[in-house]
Chain A
Amino acid sequence: MNVKESIKNYILSELVSDKENSSLSETDQLIESGIIDSLGIMKLIGFLEDNLSVQIDDMELVPENFASIAAITSLVEKKLSD
């Protein structure tokens, strides 16, 4: 499973309680639309650090990096390639 699929699967299985969002696209706005709330963002950071072996720095904790699955994937892939 690639990075994007891992992130999408985690969000769908652990953070989305509304079944209507089961077809989440990679550009859907996760924060603006309320799909991920405050506890969800902390869980997601924990998942990225524990399962994808990246360390999310404080400076990277900005809305742009967590706006969508595509944005999160881009952040993780950039960190993995550094």
Chain B
Amino acid sequence: MQPWQDPEIDKIREKYYEFATENLLGDTEQRDKEGDFSIKRWKEVAEFGFLKLLMPENFGGAEVPVTHLVAAIEGLGEGSMDGGFNYAICNQLCGLQTTINIFGSDELKSRYLPDLMSGKSMAAYGFTEETSGSDAYSMEATAVEEGDAFRLSGTKCYITNAPYANLVLVFAKTSPTRSPFALTAFLVDMEWEGATHGREYDKMGLRTVRMGELIFDNVQVPKSHIVGVKGGGLRVLTESTLWERAILIATALGPMARGLKSCIERTKTRNQFEKPIGAFQQVSSKISNMIMRYKLSRQVIYDIASRIGNGSSLQPHAQDAAIAKIFVSDNFVKFELDAMQIYGVRGYLLESFAQQDLRDSLSFNIWAGTAETLRNTIAKLAGLPVE
């Protein structure tokens, strides 16, 4: 039996689907228009146990297999229409909590994981800068060692959850070189002196989560808050982005499953020229493509998820994670374009799910490595002399 055919997967997916339909519907369209985020919903999803799923039992987590997390992400996305919210909460679990779990000291885990799992704390991922994204070593944030602490200075941009996060995983250069050991990761409390929330960005998609800037001005960070080791930031960065590429990408599956049901229904019930529009091959072939895109995306994600141990390194799967990210992102965008066409002018209205999911889908070829960067990664991992 393939992992995506496991009846246990269906049960978990259904459980999260029911939770989402009962608790997470209602105001998404309005919040999408206003670019608003719901902290209330964040706490509800946390209380339901979502943020515990991958976390170790000895710190209060549920420590489930990674495929079960994928099933939960599917259900959450299919039952709600809150793409921005789902991206943010899955990002906290896959990109941040998992990173703290793998690289953090027991002191950091016991101090911060319980509040992150309960929804009391919210975290952000402080990596991108105005001049540094895919080229990590052009980063300008620095951390200078001073006794038992580091002095952290720099500005992080385009950070999901930045406006309300109270905890940030910040990457900074602890060496001025472009060495693979020049970066260090720190866990920074935004209550500390010198840490402030900067401007917010208005964006076209994922509008139900907010994005902003984080400013660190000579923040004193205790050495105990290094995640991993000094100079080990590359490994932390690589691991967290691999989790995002392989698993966070599952946030595409819910909207595709929901959109598929809706589009199939529409092609059977909307009549033109005295026939359902699904009788026209130009339309039915779009549905066939959408089914292929959804089913293959699902298989790609469950395949890689079934090969990952909870809390283990994804480094051996680096190429497969890049492939999964490109494949699913590309198919998600094409799927949503077809959904728009099937709904015609109704899909173009701001009240339509189709335009919202399309706008959300366009971000998938950008976050955690653009499609272009990831194609370079695949080629480099195959031994090609790509610059």
* Interface positions of A (Cβ within 8 A of B): 13-14, 17, 31-32, 34, 36-43, 45-46, 50, 58-59, 61-63, 66
B161-181 to A contact mask, C-beta < 8 Å, 1/0: 000000000000000001111
Residue picked from B180, B316, B381, B385, most chain A C-beta under 10 Å: B180
Which B residues touch A13, using CB under 8 A? 383
Which B residues touch A39, using CB under 8 A? 377, 380-381
The reply to whether A58 and B181 contact each other, CB–CB distance below 8 Å, is no
With contact pairs A61-B231, A62-B229 given, residues A41 and B180 touching in the complex (Cβ less than 8 Å) = yes
The reply to whether B235 and A58 contact each other, CB–CB distance below 8 Å, is yes
Which B residues touch A45, using CB under 8 A? 235, 315
Which A residues touch B100, using CB under 8 A? none
Which A residues touch B231, using CB under 8 A? 61-63
The reply to whether A61 and B381 contact each other, CB–CB distance below 8 Å, is no
Bound CA span A58–B236, Å: 9
Q: Is the interface of A mostly helix, strand, loop or mixed?
A: helix
Bound CA span A59–B103, Å: 10
Tell me, yes or no, whether B232 is within 8 Å of chain A by CB.
yes
The reply to whether B235 and A42 contact each other, CB–CB distance below 8 Å, is yes
With contact pairs A42-B315, A46-B316 given, residues A63 and B235 touching in the complex (Cβ less than 8 Å) = no
Bound CA span A61–B235, Å: 9
Q: Is the interface of B mostly helix, strand, loop or mixed?
A: helix
With contact pairs A32-B179, A61-B181 given, residues A38 and B136 touching in the complex (Cβ less than 8 Å) = yes
Question: Contact size class for B?
Answer: 20 to 34
Chosen A-B contacts, 25 in total, with CB atoms closer than 8 Å, are: A13-B383, A14-B383, A31-B179, A31-B180, A32-B179, A38-B136, A38-B234, A39-B380, A39-B381, A40-B180, A42-B315, A42-B318, A43-B381, A45-B235, A46-B315, A46-B316, A50-B316, A58-B103, A58-B228, A58-B229, A58-B232, A61-B229, A62-B181, A62-B232, A66-B181
B225-248 to A contact mask, C-beta < 8 Å, 1/0: 000110110110010000000000
Which A residues touch B103, using CB under 8 A? 58
Which 9 pairs between the two chains have the least Cβ-Cβ distance?
A17-B385, A41-B180, A63-B181, A61-B232, A38-B180, A58-B228, A58-B229, A31-B179, A46-B315
Query: What is the minimal beta-carbon distance from A30 to any residue of chain B, in angstroms?
Result: 10
Cβ < 8 Å to A, chain B residues 204-260: 228-229, 231-232, 234-235, 238
Tell me, yes or no, whether B137 is within 8 Å of chain A by CB.
yes
Query: What is the minimal beta-carbon distance from A27 to any residue of chain B, in angstroms?
Result: 18
The reply to whether A61 and B380 contact each other, CB–CB distance below 8 Å, is no
